[in-house]
């Protein structure tokens, strides 16, 4: 197996630094967790001896060697699945994900996922995330949410993008905005849903708004872009633009349901509004039936490129199924 070795000498300024943190700063293409894993396998040595602990302190003037094996092939196998590639370079790839595509292999979805598709599409350009030749998933979209998603192709890009998503845009580097069709019209055209999220006590597979002490901070900014009527001409459905200040599981879907404006077609958090479809025109009701998913689309994605530092920005138009539903809703105004 091919492997690469790096030798580094600690300076006086490095004295007392943890070996894993010091190596991660010196070798940015390797994440700290990857370096910790290498230390456990005996890949870091000094003076003929093996460094056994990630917390060992660096000594000035001492030489340290780290051996990095070639990335192993990914356990998920590559599959020939069509991808809508918006942008790609040596560090990352931006995909416009269709509804129905699962992002990561999991029980019940071992194949046919975005990861399987990316392993096949990217091939040798995947230099290894954590020692495995696989794409680095830094954020996810639900299976039935469409839109933009960025994936890292190497450890350095994964490290940078993960940090940006951990900040959720607070440092100005990351930007995410969604479009959704929601039941009803909020009292105010713009606002913020500030409600902590955690696992539902009634159903552990669902998320819910919980007490502050039991959940995690979650904020969603919304703006009503358009309003569509029901069959009687009364305002009934809102097209909303939603920006995430945090990125919790199912955040938009739970927050919209919490303020009594759930996403149309949401099979988990919008079940209490199924009867609302009866107020739509026949055409709109049929278009909603054909949607067969939540009407939620990741429309905008911006981030700082992990290598160049350039501000990257991408936009995705609403997919055909949501556009068809909007057109059917508009016809009620005629």
Q: Is the pLDDT of residue 73 over 60?
A: no
pLDDT digits 0-9 by tens, 25-58: 888 777 788 888 888 888 888 888 888 888 999 9
Q: Is the pLDDT of residue 297 over 90?
A: yes
Among 294, 217, 233, smallest CA distance to 261 is for 294
Give the confidence band of 184 by pLDDT, cuts at 50, 70, 90.
very high
Q: Which of 20, 91, 142, 144 does the annotation list as catalytic?
A: 142
Give the confidence band of 274 by pLDDT, cuts at 50, 70, 90.
confident
Q: Is the pLDDT of residue 268 over 60?
A: yes
- pTM, to two decimals: 0.78
Reduce the secondary structure of 86-130 to three states and give it as a string: EEECCCEEEEEECCCCCCCCECCECCCCHHHHHHHHHHHHCCEEC
Those residues whose C-beta lies under 8 Å from the C-beta of residue 59, and which sit 6 or more positions away, are 10, 15
Q: Catalytic: 187?
A: no
Helical ranges in the chain per DSSP H: 19-26, 32-40, 114-122, 155-167, 251-258, 282-291, 320-331
> What's 3-69's CATH class?
alpha beta
Region 270-289 average pLDDT? 92
How crowded is residue 120: how many other Cβ atoms within 10 Å of its Cβ? 14
Region 185-212 average pLDDT? 92
Give the confidence band of 131 by pLDDT, cuts at 50, 70, 90.
low
Q: Is the pLDDT of residue 261 over 60?
A: yes
Contact 227, 185 (CB under 8 A): yes
Report pLDDT for 57. Answer: 92
- Any idea which of 93-102, 117-126, 220-229 has the lowest mean pLDDT? 117-126
Q: Is the pLDDT of residue 222 over 60?
A: yes
Report pLDDT for 196. Answer: 95
Of 6 and 211, the structure prediction assigns the larger pLDDT to 211
Give the integer Cα–Cα distance in Å for 64 and 107. 42
Q: Is the pLDDT of residue 304 over 60?
A: yes
Where are the chain's structural domains?
3-69, 73-167, 176-331
Give the integer Cα–Cα distance in Å for 302 and 315. 9
Vertex 289 angle, CA 184 and 244, to 5°: 50
Report pLDDT for 40. Answer: 86
- Any idea which of 174-183, 196-205, 261-270 has the lowest mean pLDDT? 196-205
Report pLDDT for 37. Answer: 84
Report pLDDT for 285. Answer: 95
pLDDT digits 0-9 by tens, 87-113: 999 999 999 999 999 998 876 677 899
Helix/strand/coil percentages in the chain, nearest 5: 25, 30, 45
Region 122-140 average pLDDT? 77
Report pLDDT for 180. Answer: 98
- Check the CA dihedral 204-210-211-215 and report its sign: positive
Give the integer Cα–Cα distance in Å for 268 and 274. 11
Q: Topology of 176-331 in CATH? A: Pseudouridine synthase (3.30.2350)
Among 27, 307, 37, 302, smallest CA distance to 160 is for 307
3-state secondary structure of 229: strand
Among 178, 150, 177, 154, smallest CA distance to 164 is for 150
Of 6 and 82, the structure prediction assigns the larger pLDDT to 82
Give the confidence band of 205 by pLDDT, cuts at 50, 70, 90.
confident
Q: Is the pLDDT of residue 211 over 60?
A: yes
Give the integer Cα–Cα distance in Å for 331 and 327. 6
The pair of structure tokens assigned to 217 is 């901070």
Among 190, 146, 181, smallest CA distance to 329 is for 181
Same fold, 3-69 and 73-167: no
Of 29 and 295, the structure prediction assigns the larger pLDDT to 295
Contact 102, 163 (CB under 8 A): no
C-alpha distance from residue 115 to each of 4, 99, 208 (Å): 27, 15, 28
How crowded is residue 322: how many other Cβ atoms within 10 Å of its Cβ? 24
Superfamily of chain region 73-167: Pseudouridine synthase (3.30.2350.10)
What average pLDDT does the chain have? 90
- Strands 136-137 and 146-152, how do they pair? antiparallel
Among 121, 132, 130, 131, smallest CA distance to 92 is for 121
Q: Is the pLDDT of residue 74 over 70?
A: no
- Strands 296-304 and 311-315, how do they pair? antiparallel
- Check the CA dihedral 244-245-251-252 and report its sign: negative
Please give the biggest Cα pair distance in the chain. 82
Report pLDDT for 232. Answer: 93
- Any idea which of 85-89, 204-208, 242-246 has the lowest mean pLDDT? 204-208
């Amino acid at each position: 197996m091919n492997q690469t070795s790096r030798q580094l000498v600690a300076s006086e300024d490095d004295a007392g630094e943890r070996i894993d943190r010091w190596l991660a700063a010196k070798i940015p293409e390797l994440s700290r967790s990857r370096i910790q894993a290498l230390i456990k396998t005996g890949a870091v040595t000094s003076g003929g001896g093996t460094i056994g602990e990630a917390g060992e302190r660096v000594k000035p003037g001492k030489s340290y060697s780290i051996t990095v094996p070639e990335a192993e092939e990914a356990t998920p196998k590559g599959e020939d699945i069509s991808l809508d590639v918006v942008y790609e370079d040596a560090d990352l790839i931006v995909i416009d994900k269709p509804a129905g595509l699962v992002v990561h292999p999991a029980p019940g979805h071992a194949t046919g996922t975005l990861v399987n598709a990316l392993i096949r599409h990217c091939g040798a350009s995947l230099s290894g995330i954590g020692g495995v030749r696989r794409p680095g998933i830094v954020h996810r979209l639900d299976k039935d949410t469409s839109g933009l998603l960025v994936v890292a192709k190497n450890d350095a890009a994964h490290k940078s993008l993960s940090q940006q998503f951990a900040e959720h845009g607070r440092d100005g580097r990351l930007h995410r905005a969604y479009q959704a069709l929601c039941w009803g019209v909020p009292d105010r055209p713009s606002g913020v849903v500030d409600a902590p999220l955690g696992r539902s006590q009634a159903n552990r597979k669902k998320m819910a708004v919980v007490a502050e002490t039991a959940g995690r901070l979650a904020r969603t900014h919304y703006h009503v872009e358009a309003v569509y009527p029901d069959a009687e001409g009364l305002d009934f459905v809102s097209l909303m633009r939603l920006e995430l200040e945090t990125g919790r599981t199912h955040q938009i879907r739970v927050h919209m349901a919490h303020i009594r404006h759930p996403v149309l077609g949401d099979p988990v958090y919008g079940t209490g509004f199924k009867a609302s479809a009866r107020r739509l025109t026949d055409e709109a009701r049929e278009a909603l039936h054909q949607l067969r998913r939540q009407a939620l689309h990741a429309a905008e994605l911006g981030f700082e490129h992990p290598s160049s530092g350039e501000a990257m920005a991408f936009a995705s138009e609403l997919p055909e199924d949501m556009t068809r539903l909007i057109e059917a809703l508009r016809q009620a105004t005629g």
